[in-house]
Amino acid sequence: MNAKLVLLLFLGSWLAQAQSIQSFEGIDALELTRRQHDVDPNGAVGTKQYMEWVNVFFQAYDKVTHAPVWSAPVPGTRPFQSNKLSNCLNVGGDGIITFDHLALRWVIAVRSTSAANTYYYCVAVSSTDDLTSSNLSWYTYQFPLNHVLGANSQGTTYWPDWPRFGTWADAYYVSFDLNDVNNEYLQIGVVVCALDRTNMLTGSTPNPMQCFSDPDPIPLHGTLYLKHSLIPADVDGTTAPPKGRDEFLVSIQNPPHDGQSTTSNSLNLWDFHVDWVNSDNSTFSHSSLTVPTYTPGCYKPSAPFNTFCVPETSTKVTNNRVDSVGDRLMPRFDYRNFGTYESFLVGHTVHTGISNLLTSIRWYELRGSGTPAIYQNGTVNPDQTLFRFMPSIAQDQTGNAAVGYNVSNGATHPGIRSSWWNTNTPTPKEVVIFNGSGDEKDSMRWGDYSSMTVDPVDDCTFWYVTEYFAQNESGKPIDWDTRIGNYKVSTCSKK
C-alpha cells in the first residue's frame, strides 16, 4: 500500500482562512482476500485513530503518523467471531463505522445473513476509545430482523438494503430499505429501528429494539417506493441533544414514476420518539420539507434507480459511466447542538449545468428546537466542466461546514475534492484532496457512499474518505483504492 503523505497548500486568499490538506492511503483492494466493486467506503475519526470500513474489512490508522493499527485489514466478522455470535459470521456489504462522540466509543454495525432468507443486524461497541489499548474489547450484539422486515406473497423476507446508522442520546438508530428479491429487488418501503444504546455501552443485555415501517403494514405486494433510504441524524461534538429530544431522519422524495417527470421540490422528514419504559408510547411520524426544485443526479424517468451517467477519461472508448447514486440523500445527516440553536446538515447529488448535463452537490441546513425546518440551502458547482457526486457533509464547532465528494469528466480521472463554507456566510470554497490517476473501466458501481466526520479532540478538523483509482482497472483483479484526507478551517479553534 502506498502510504506516501500528500501535502497540498491552499493558495491565494484561502491561505488566510484554511490550514493545509493532508491525505494518506486507506484500504486498497489488493490488500483484501475478498474483493468487490461494491466498496462502501466509510469511516470515522476518534480521539487517537481513524477507522475505515470497506466491504467487508476494517482497518484503523494513527491520526498523527497514519500508520495502520493492524498488520492487515481485519475481516468484518472478527469482533462477533471472537464473542461467538454465530448469527454474525456471514456479514455482507454496507458495514458502518461510527465514533460515538457522546460516549467516546467506537461502533461497528453491519448486516449479516445467518442462513437463507434469515437476517440479523450485528453491532460491536468498543470498551475504550483507543484501538491500540491492551484493554480493548468489544461488546457485541445480534439483532434478529426477519420479524420486522416483512415478506412478499411468496414468503420471501424483504432484503434489508442500505442500512444507515446514527448516534442519538437515547438510542442508536438504524434504517433499512426493503427490497423484494423476487421482483428484481424492487424497493417497496423502509424500516427504522431504535437500539438500546444505554445498555449496549456497558455490555448489558439491551431492551428489544423498537421498529416502525413505512408503509405500515408492510405489503405482500409492494409497489415502487419513492422516499427510500432514510438517514438518521448523527451527533457531532460533545453537546448532546436537549433531554427528551426526538431523533429525526430525512430521505429524498423522488419524482413521480410516470415515465416523464424528472423533478421534485420536496424532501421527507421523519420523527422517531422512543420510550424505553413503555414501547406503546413510541411513535414514528412523517412530514414533508419544501425545497428548491431539483432533478436527482443521473435521473432517468424510465429507470429512476439506475443513476449511471458520470463520465471518465475512458468513457468515449468503453462507454462506461459510473454511478452517482443520485436517487437518494447521502449520509451523513449531521447534527450539532450549538446551545443557542440546533443545526442539521445533509446533501445529495443533483443535475446542473446547461441542459442538466452535469451533476453537482446540493446541501441543506435544517434548524429548529421543535420539528426542524429548512433554514437555508445551496449548490456546490464552481464550474461547468466537472461532475461532482457521492457527497458527505459535516460541521465543526464554529459553524464551518465541509462536504467531500468525487469529481470526474471526460478529460479527468475520478478524483477527490471538498468544499467548505461558514453557515453564517455560505460561499463554498473548493479544495483538492487528491487527484485520481485511473478509471474504473469495467464496472459502473462506485462507492455507494463516502464519509465526512469531525475530530472529537479539536472539534475542528474534517476527515473524509472515499474511493478513487490509482490506475485503470480493466478485467481482473479488482483494483480500487481509497484515500483519507483531513483539513480544518483556520477560523476554528478549540473552545
Domains of the chain: 6-487 (2.120.10)
Rounded CA-CA distance 421/399 in Å is: 9
Residues with Cβ within 8 Å of residue 284, at least 6 apart in sequence:
192, 212, 214, 270, 271, 272, 273
Alpha carbon distance 193, 173 (integer Å): 6
pLDDT (mean) for 81-110: 97
Instruction: Write the pLDDT tens digit of every residue in 331-390.
Output: 999 999 999 999 999 999 999 988 888 999 999 999 999 999 999 999 999 999 999 999
Handedness of CA 28, 29, 34, 36 (dihedral sign): positive
Backbone angles phi, psi at 181, to 5 degrees: -70, -20
Cell of 495: 473552545
Classify each residue of 432-445 as buried b or exposed e, where b means 16 or more C-beta atoms within 10 Å of its C-beta.
bbbebebbbbebeb
Question: Closest Cα to residue 54, out of 405, 466, 486, 439?
Answer: 466
**How would residue 140 be classed by pLDDT, with cut points 50, 70 and 90?**
very high
pLDDT of residue 356: 85
Instruction: Residue 231: name the closest of 159, 329, 101, 326 by CA.
Output: 329
Angstrom distance (rounded) from CA 343 to CA 351: 26
Residue 68 has pLDDT above 50, yes or no: yes
- Residue 276 sits at φ, ψ, to 5 deg, of -80, -15
Predicted pLDDT of residue 10? 37
Q: Are 214 and 271 in contact (CB under 8 A)?
A: no
The residue-averaged pLDDT of 189-196 equals 98
pLDDT tens for 222-258 read 999 999 999 999 999 999 999 999 999 999 999 999 9
* Angle in degrees, CA 479, 23, 322, rounded to 5: 40
Q: What is the pLDDT of residue 8?
A: 37
Cβ–Cβ under 8 Å, residues 175 and 190: yes
d(CA 213, CA 430): 39
Q: What is the pLDDT of residue 270?
A: 98
| Phi, psi dihedrals of residue 194, rounded to the nearest 5° | -105, 130
Question: What is the mean pLDDT of the segment spanning 264-270?
Answer: 98
Average pLDDT over residues 40-63: 98
Instruction: Please answer whether residues 456 and 47 qualify as being in contact, where contact means their C-beta atoms are separated by less than 8 angstroms.
Output: yes
pLDDT at 2 exceeding the cut of 80: no
pLDDT of residue 416: 98
Please count the other Cβ atoms lying within 10 Å of the Cβ belonging to residue 337: 18
Side-chain-facing half-sphere of 180: CA atoms under 13 Å: 20
State how far the alpha carbon of 375 is from the alpha carbons of 31, 266, 343, 386, in Å: 44, 14, 9, 28
Establish whether the linkage from the previous residue to 304 is cis, with ω within 30° of 0: no
Mean pLDDT of the chain: 95
pLDDT confidence of residue 19: 64
Residues 160-173 have pLDDT tens digits of 999 999 999 999 99
Judge whether 64 and 474 are in contact, CB under 8 Å: no
Q: What is the dihedral of CA 270, 274, 279, 280, to 10 degrees?
A: -50
Q: Would the pLDDT of 11 be above 70?
A: no
Smallest Cα–Cα separation from 341: which of 310, 376, 303? Answer: 376
* Residue 18 confidence (pLDDT): 58
pLDDT digits (tens, 9 = 90+) for 327-348: 999 999 999 999 999 999 999 9
User: Letter for the amino acid at 29?
Assistant: A
Q: How confident is the model at residue 495 (pLDDT cuts 50, 70, 90)?
A: low
Task: Specify the pLDDT at position 3.
Answer: 43
304-329: pLDDT as tens digits: 889 999 999 999 999 999 999 999 99
